[in-house]
Amino acid sequence: MNIWDNDNEFSLGRKVAYDDFTTIDWTHDFNLEELRKRKLNKGKGIKKHWNQLVDKSKGWIVVLSVGASVGILAGYINVISEWLSDLKVGYCSTNFYLNQEFCCWGNDPPLNLHCSEWVPWGQVLSTSNSSTSPALEYILGYSFYILFSLVLALVSAILVLNFAPYAAGCGITEVKTILGGFVIRRFLGKWTLLIKSVGLCLSSSSGLSIGKEGPLVHVACCCGNLFLRFFNKYKHNEAKKREILSAAASAGVSVAFGAPIGGVLFSLEELSYYFPLKTMWRSFISAMVASIFLKIVNPFRTGKLVMFQVTYTRNWHGFEMIFFLILGVLGGLYGTLFIKLNLWLTKFRRDSWLNKYPIQEVIAITLITSAIGFPNIFMRLDTSELLSNLFTECDDNSLSILCPKSNIFKTITLLLIASLLKLLLTIVTFGVRVPAGLFLPSMAIGACFGRIVGIIVQELSKNSQSFFFQACQVGTNCINPGTYAMVGAAAALGGVTRMTVSLVVIMFELTGALTYVLPIMVAVMTSKWVGDAFDRGGIYDGLIRLNGYPFLHNKQDYPSDHTTGQVMTRVNDLVVIPADQISLSQIDELLQYTNFKGFPIVRSSNDPFLIGFISRSELRTGIEHAKLSSTVDGSSPCLFDIVDSDSLGILEHGSFVDLRYWTDHTPITVTPTTTMGVVIDLFCKLGLRYVLVAKHGELLGVITKKDVLKHIDIIEYPKLAQGNNLA
């Protein structure tokens, strides 16, 4: 049985019909770019060199502007969301627009966050001479906290829903799909940029369990898309456009984590489809410029690029590797759990009654989060502050609860509760209709777990005489729980995203803990292995599959022993253009009544000898061009073939529509016995949109990217496909 017989019914659970999206043809676009460059080289002397210089500098201008604007934007997003976040707990009596840190600036000791200028909401009723009771203060503070959280989240959700629905969520899934060669209109538009930036400030300060990192990548890509519109070179070439977007994504990660190198690697490993050395180099510079501008805008925040600067005075010991391995396993399990539950919930949210109440959903989740969050010290803290505290080595200034001297059970219990609650809240929150990422919450959960393991190991080692801990001298404090938190954070993030090299680099740019690169590596490795044992691919791949985005992994192998002959759409089911007898009016009809993206051209209706291929857009341009001439009418024949001068002579007698310039006479063709493995390889490596199947010059059929994606679904999920066919 040919599984492709009922091709039209075949949907494999894809809810979004991806015919709505346009696939780009990389090869075609690169050829256009080459043509353009050749024209540029046609000039002479100084003018030619000048033109070339101007052309080259365009790319740099865009990359530098993107870097600068992303840095500035991220800086302001940070400043505003910090202020809003502080507004939940109090206000600055001298200048309401200052956050707690700046309100108490210049105090003694420096960075003392408690000062008379900063008024917690609990004390808002107390006047200088009479003070309210602590219970009332607490209740007041609690109420204001919940109220502000609600307002912030609500405004964010309303903005997103009414003005830019694409601004919701993380955006990395879609960015990955777009970089993979698909067009999602308005996803990178200026409205999305505006609403996502504003919404991100609001939602990230509302206390919801979400991160700013993923959305910042989306914001950066919007910036990239905005700037490249100034240059036709990029505006009109989807493939070239993606070079800029890849660089912009690097800038986004760079400012999100303060990790320029990590940003480049993230773009390479996780996001980009086509990443030549030139793009890598540009990404590098874009990421760098973004970091510099972030530092300029946001100078007093840390003064350093490293977000969670850690300075560990102790090195790690060989025996600790076992615990790092355990953390890796935990991270992998966490990742699997998170992906399974979140995907299930996302599907439920999309397909059920819940779909109709996005605002109510946001309200409910915010209420729960803020009600839970206020009483628990670990939950109330800003996620990045929490991470920073979890990572640090215990000394005299550290949060005393994290460095228990005697009763470790209270600390462990609190951390365990915090991490479990955070896990549940993050699963529920990731996917609601506000700008929201999952990097930082995932890291926080992993860090809590890591810190728990670290505290336990520290306690075990303290007075142990066993062989296992012999590297520790008895009585000294040789275990640093902060390290475990760091390793745990990396493992958890690795479990969710299945990143490898880029994650390690981000971790050590984030913490500066270069000597801990081996433990982090081991944990990330284990986490990926454990996760992959359950299900291949991270959360973003899962979401791509769930949303039915047409994405072709070019970094994966798809062995397939079907032949193209089995998979192709046969020539009888295709609309082909017979080169010998098609008139202008017939082509008009063709364009009107079909919506195919392109048409193979054969010698005549009876003779399926392949002459070429013409894409819909070029066919339209071609005939519009031709219609300007007065000599053609609806009955004029169209000329597609590069005929030799003899037959051209004949044709020149009558008037005809010359479409030869618009026809691709050299489409990529394969034979019907070529295996699909080879064809998938061709699609992946060359970024094709279609291949023609021909034998001995005769057109037999066509394979489109859609066919390839369907075929891959069948290879990868044979059961699912079968079930679908039976239904």
Return residues touching a second copy (CB under 8 A).
27, 30-31, 34, 37-38, 260-261, 264-265, 269, 276-278, 280-281, 284-285, 288, 291-292, 303-306, 315, 500-501, 504-505, 508-509, 512, 514-515, 517-518, 521-522, 525, 555-557, 559, 561, 609-610, 642, 665-666, 669-671, 673-675, 677-678, 681-682, 685-686, 694-698
A 10 A CB-CB count for 542 gives 18
Element (H, E) at 90: strand 90-92
Going by their DSSP bridges, the two strands 577-578 and 598-602 should be labelled as: parallel
Going by their DSSP bridges, the two strands 657-658 and 638-639 should be labelled as: parallel
- Do the Cβ atoms of 691 and 703 come closer than 8 Å? yes
Please state the closest distance from residue 312 (CB atom) to a second copy, in A.
12
Cβ distance to a second copy smaller for residue 218 or 498: 498
Please state the closest distance from residue 383 (CB atom) to a second copy, in A.
22
Element (H, E) at 337: helix 321-351
In degrees to the nearest 10, what's the CA dihedral of 308, 312, 315, 317? -70
Spacing of C-alpha 442 from chain mean position:
16
DSSP state at residue 269: I
The Cα–Cα gap between 195 and 174 comes to 17
Please state the closest distance from residue 392 (CB atom) to a second copy, in A.
17
Please state the closest distance from residue 282 (CB atom) to a second copy, in A.
10
Cβ distance to a second copy smaller for residue 522 or 632: 522
Structure tokens at 20: 């709505």
A 10 A CB-CB count for 532 gives 16
Cβ distance to a second copy smaller for residue 500 or 569: 500
The answer for 12, left when phi > 0, alpha when psi is -120 to 50, beta otherwise, is left
Please state the closest distance from residue 418 (CB atom) to a second copy, in A.
29
Structure tokens at 149: 């959280």
Q: How far is CA 120 from CA 99, 144, 203, 376, in A?
A: 12, 10, 21, 17
Cβ distance to a second copy smaller for residue 18 or 273: 273
Cβ distance to a second copy smaller for residue 234 or 508: 508
Please state the closest distance from residue 283 (CB atom) to a second copy, in A.
9
Cβ distance to a second copy smaller for residue 305 or 472: 305
Cβ distance to a second copy smaller for residue 67 or 169: 67
Please state the closest distance from residue 343 (CB atom) to a second copy, in A.
22
Cβ distance to a second copy smaller for residue 361 or 707: 707
In sequence order, what are the residues at sequence separation of 6 or more whose Cβ sits closer than 8 angstroms to the Cβ of residue 313?
393
Cβ distance to a second copy smaller for residue 27 or 655: 27
Please state the closest distance from residue 302 (CB atom) to a second copy, in A.
11
Please state the closest distance from residue 354 (CB atom) to a second copy, in A.
36
The answer for 443, left when phi > 0, alpha when psi is -120 to 50, beta otherwise, is alpha
Phi, psi dihedral angles at 23 (to 5 degrees): -90, 140
The Cα–Cα gap between 245 and 179 comes to 7
- Do the Cβ atoms of 529 and 491 come closer than 8 Å? no
